[in-house]
Structure 1
Amino acid sequence: MGIREVADMANVSVTTASRALNGTGRIAAGTRTRVKKVADELGYQPNEVARQLKEGMSSTLGVLVPDITNPFFPELVHGIQEVAEENGHVLLLAPTNGEPTGIAKALRQMHSRQVAGVVIVDDCLDDSALAKELDGLKYVALDRKLHLSQSTWVSSDHLGGAQMAAEHLIGLGHRRIVHIAGPQGIGVARERLAGFRQALELADIPLDDELVFYADFTEDAGYQAALGLLERDICFTAVFAVADLAAIGAMRAFDEHHLDVPKDISVVGFDDIHLASYVRPGLTTVKQQIAELGRVAAGLLLDSDPGTEGRSRTLPVEVVTRGTTARVRQSEVST
């Protein structure tokens, strides 16, 4: 069913029918009503993509995320979607699998769809290569501080949050604290490791490289890192994981080895994904404003000039205490 059939049934020209349905041009109210009624009866749907291409504009926003299976990202995308829909836009979601080729492919797709702009939630392509692939696309980076001219980014306070997580454990008497770190090629992982180190330094606790395990943000990575700790018979009383999923994976490994959390080992995560409050015991974690990050990023992207200097934002975080942390037993305190 096309616009011509609608025009014929409404006894108007194709141009008049198109203007009546698009809300453009000076059309008599009665004519507009008649055309819309016919379109509804025939089940006609306008070709929105064709209209946008003809007018040189788009109501689509692109979103690049590394992993749609991590529950952090759906909540983030939901925040972006809320603002997009409020402003008459739809989302085109492109998972990149956390690979440079994935980002490049996704951005080329965004160019071909002539999107109004993109939110980039990936940090595996260096700035210069990313700038080349962007090639004039309007964009906002999320959880990535780009070093490009006129760039805008939105991020949580990852360094401060990690410092608070470590300080929470130190305040409970822990000194042998493991950090399951993320890939150091990713900015948020570097910032969280830096925050962890800063807390130890301020507490005059020597950093033991043996207590830093490099993994990633997944549950399996946390599980394997914890197994590695146990196999090497390393002395530790607490774990700060780079992400909630990694913390939950570590807890599974401890449970399999009959270690009680938090009686034997305290655990802290980062993100406060929905699952964190449902695992047992509930996970102590650093709470990000996940949906708000998405809302702020979308708002900046839809701003007439998102690249204006000083528009970038860092959102605060806080430690949410649940059941996975406890005061260290005096017999375990290292002197």
Structure 2
Amino acid sequence: MTAANRPTTKRLARAGIRDVAAAAGVSITTVSDALNGKGRLPEATRRHVREVADRLGYRPSAAARTLRTGRSGLLGLTVTTYGDEPFTFTEFAYFAEMARAATSAALARGYALVILPASSRHHVWSNVALDGTVVIDPAEHDPVVAELHRRGIPVVSDGKPGDSPVHAWVDNDHEAAVVAILDHLSSAGARRIGLLTGTSTDTYARQSTRAYLDWCERTGQEPVHESYPAHDSRAGAVAADRLLARPDRPDAVYGLYDPNGTDLLAASRRYGLRVPDDLMIVCCSESDVYAGTEPPVTTLSLKPRLIGTTVVELLIDAIEGGGPRSSQGQVIPHDLIVRASSLRRAPRTTISPPRAPGIG
């Protein structure tokens, strides 16, 4: 086949921002604002521009954006509680849902989310050009947050940051959530409520445990609690067994982590305890598995999808808005999903069935 007869493949030109502006009948600035979530445009205009951009196959050039704005379009996400095992947290339903929602929120604003380890022995942080970072459950005086702040990288935390320098934070009211659970169990008939908690210093474990101890002091109950490293699921099963083996065994337990619910169900069977008659159970979990256990287990939801979306929105606003750190906070409501494991049945009066005729 000669060169003259050889078929040629014409490379399709990539649609540019000018093409989108011309097809949509708007200015280049309007296209940029519509696709980047900026400016004060009518929602109908934003939707129209995005539909035109999708139809033309327009994709912003990452290199061009970096040159124009000095930003990479990359957001980091890390969980400092799991520094030595950076991706273990994805095995938990809360973190998985939160990360999925955060990823979607980032993509909607033209950013990508990168999950990174928190341990200082990992050098990847210096090799990835991040515009900002979400830190989940920062510890008091968190070294990761301090280092990011030193480098001028905006940080938004999932969890109250204590003294750590963040631009903003999002969290639940853990004290109110714990009090609601304890009051629920008490009103259902519990007289000695136990707690399975973590040994970490993150705000979730610290505030939840403090709320439990304060509630016990206020109601005159002696605390009955066991703690364990939250990232070690085997340790959780041991702690649940340890709690039910105590001479002052509780008749209700709240577990701060998943899979505390299944751990407590298994331990109750080993000790011959009926749930909820002998032991009521509540655990904090986003997993659907507890709707199908026997009995179904009451769970506390911390709304991770809403939190994931909110932290990313606040982070991108900090990146694109610049300005001084505001340390603003947003509190996300919790949701107690009550199931059979925390609803103790009222005592029943036994009525003998009628006897058959002729039987004395």
Question: 1:121 Cα shift?
Answer: 1.0
Question: 2: CA distance between counterparts of 1:306 and 1:256?
Answer: 58
The alpha-carbon distance between structure 1 residues 314 and 302, as it changes in their structure 2 partners (threshold 3 A), is: same
Question: 1:131 Cα shift?
Answer: 1.0
Q: Is the aligned partner of 1:300 residue 2:314?
A: yes
Question: 2: CA distance between counterparts of 1:49 and 1:228?
Answer: 54
Unaligned runs of 5+ in 1: 1-7, 12-16, 30-45, 97-101, 331-335
Partner of 2:293: 279
Over residues 80-136 of structure 1, what are the superposed CA-to-partner deviations in whole Å (9 max), with x where a residue is unaligned?
11211111122111244xxxxx2x356x53442212211111435733563124421
Structure whose alpha-carbon radius of gyration is higher:
2
Q: Is the 8 A contact 1:146 1:153 kept in 2?
A: no
Question: 1: CA distance between counterparts of 2:228 and 2:125?
Answer: 31
Residue number among 89, 103, 107 corresponding to 2:111 in the alignment: 89
Q: Is the aligned partner of 1:137 residue 2:139?
A: no
Q: Is the aligned partner of 1:318 residue 2:353?
A: no
* Residues 154-233 of structure 1 mapped to structure 2, 5 A cutoff: 154-202=170-218, 204-208=219-223, 211-217=224-230, 219-233=233-247
Q: Tell me the secondary structure at the aligned position of residue 342 of structure 2.
A: coil
Question: 2: CA distance between counterparts of 1:252 and 1:306?
Answer: 53
Question: 2: CA distance between counterparts of 1:223 and 1:119?
Answer: 30
Question: 1: CA distance between counterparts of 2:262 and 2:334?
Answer: 20
Q: Is the 8 A contact 2:103 2:112 kept in 1?
A: yes
Question: 2: CA distance between counterparts of 1:221 and 1:234?
Answer: 21
Question: 1:221 Cα shift?
Answer: 3.2
Q: Tell me the secondary structure at the aligned position of residue 68 of structure 1.
A: helix
Q: Is the aligned partner of 1:78 residue 2:100?
A: yes
Between stretches 163-172 and 115-124, larger displacement belongs to 115-124
TM-score w.r.t. the length of structure 1 is: 0.75
Residue number among 265, 284, 289 corresponding to 1:270 in the alignment: 284
Question: 2: CA distance between counterparts of 1:321 and 1:212?
Answer: 22
Question: 1: CA distance between counterparts of 2:103 and 2:323?
Answer: 18
* Residues 81-120 of structure 1 mapped to structure 2, 5 A cutoff: 81-96=103-118, 102=119, 104=120, 109-120=124-135
Q: Tell me the secondary structure at the aligned position of residue 284 of structure 2.
A: strand
2:214 partner amino acid:
Q
1:70 partner amino acid:
F
Q: Which runs of 4+ in 1 moved over 4 A?
A: 8-11, 24-27, 46-55, 305-308
Q: Tell me the secondary structure at the aligned position of residue 220 of structure 2.
A: coil
2:198 partner amino acid:
G
Over residues 130-162 of structure 1, what are the superposed CA-to-partner deviations in whole Å (9 max), with x where a residue is unaligned?
312442112211124242455311111111101
The alpha-carbon distance between structure 1 residues 92 and 309, as it changes in their structure 2 partners (threshold 3 A), is: same
Q: Is the 8 A contact 1:175 1:205 kept in 2?
A: no
Partner of 2:28: none
Question: 1: CA distance between counterparts of 2:166 and 2:101?
Answer: 24
Question: 1:309 Cα shift?
Answer: 2.6
The alpha-carbon distance between structure 1 residues 115 and 133, as it changes in their structure 2 partners (threshold 3 A), is: closer
Question: 1:227 Cα shift?
Answer: 1.4
2:108 partner amino acid:
E
CA RMSD of aligned residues (A): 3.4
Aligned positions, number:
292
Q: Is the aligned partner of 1:253 residue 2:264?
A: no
Question: 1:177 Cα shift?
Answer: 1.1
Partner of 1:152: 168
